[in-house]
A = this chain, B = another copy of it.
């Protein structure tokens, strides 16, 4: 990229987050290339003016944003004739920036960034987001950025098109680590509320009144306000899956080991989500951990004391 030419921009991965993020980018910069494994998802964006690429190679741009669930899927975009590396080479793009918006392992993404830069001159930024689909749709995401500081700075206008809170956290993996810290709190809050609701049920308390009391004091939280209804209705279908929560918890424990810290609470939460996923309930919303705890209670009641 030079100072006089606007860098070309592509977004790969048009899922529940990537779709609305691409729409925000179109508002910001009409010149956007998009790609998705299943091409049907590109259609509504093409109608709004986006250029659909037939392959990652065709989508290769100065800046490539990826919104994919894991690092393996990002890596799979790179090799082969249809891959990003071939595309960048064919287009003479020698210093591309590859942004990883998905929630990935802080340690794995740091290694990936180092490898990709030294082997191919690709600058990788880890830039996980929080705020959910609503944040993506309204452009009010929080974006936590790790990697080369200058590259991160040059990306700020693009990030600001999608998020209201954009923060540079440090070297490669620091964005992913900040997201991991966020997930420590989210996973524990969901589990703590599930235990509180189970204890309330065990004593015959009215759960609606209980939720109202919790909201009135120091126990209040965004999880409670956004997801309180799930414990009331016992409807845990859809939402932010337990499977993804468990994936995040794995990253948390890896990062803790690397950082030389023990996280006993996160370890307990991980064991519970492990149990939930093993029971085949990984597709439920993470608040469904309440069911796992309730099932344990039934075992407990049936076992001799």
Interface residues of A (CB under 8 A from B): 106, 130-132, 135, 142, 144, 164-165, 167, 169-170, 173-174, 177-178, 180-182, 184-186, 188-189, 191-193, 195-200, 202-206, 209-210, 212-214, 216-224, 226, 252, 255-256, 258-269, 271-272, 293-294, 296-297, 300-301
Q: With A and B bound together, what is the CA distance between A226 and B174 in angstroms?
A: 26
Say which residue of B177, B189, B204 sits within 8 Å of A219 (CB atoms). Answer: B189
Q: How far is the CB of A200 from chain B (nearest CB, A)?
A: 5
Q: How far is the CB of A203 from chain B (nearest CB, A)?
A: 4
Q: With A and B bound together, what is the CA distance between A256 and B300 in angstroms?
A: 11
Which of A144, A214, A293 has most chain B Cβ within 10 Å?
A: A214
Are A189 and B191 in touch, CB under 8 angstroms?
no
Contacts of A259 in B (CB 8 A): 199, 202-203
Are A222 and B226 in touch, CB under 8 angstroms?
no
Contacts of A177 in B (CB 8 A): 199-200, 203, 205
Known: A181-B196, A189-B188, A223-B218. A174 touches B205 (CB 8 A): yes
- CB-based closest 4 A-B pairs: A202-B259, A188-B192, A221-B221, A185-B219
Are B218 and A181 in touch, CB under 8 angstroms?
no
Say which residue of B200, B216, B226 sits within 8 Å of A165 (CB atoms). Answer: B216
Q: How far is the CB of A111 from chain B (nearest CB, A)?
A: 15
Contacts of A260 in B (CB 8 A): 202, 297, 300-301
Known: A165-B213, A301-B260. A199 touches B174 (CB 8 A): no
Please, which residue of chain B has its CB at the minimum distance from the CB of A187? B192
Are B189 and A184 in touch, CB under 8 angstroms?
no
Are B265 and A202 in touch, CB under 8 angstroms?
no
Known: A205-B170, A256-B202. A196 touches B213 (CB 8 A): no
Q: With A and B bound together, what is the CA distance between A293 and B252 in angstroms?
A: 15
Q: How far is the CB of A44 from chain B (nearest CB, A)?
A: 26
Q: With A and B bound together, what is the CA distance between A261 and B202 in angstroms?
A: 7
Q: Given contacts A170-B205, A181-B196, could you give 13 more A-B pairs where the C-beta distance is less than 8 Å?
A: A130-B216, A131-B217, A132-B218, A144-B213, A182-B219, A185-B224, A189-B219, A217-B222, A221-B221, A260-B301, A262-B300, A264-B268, A265-B269
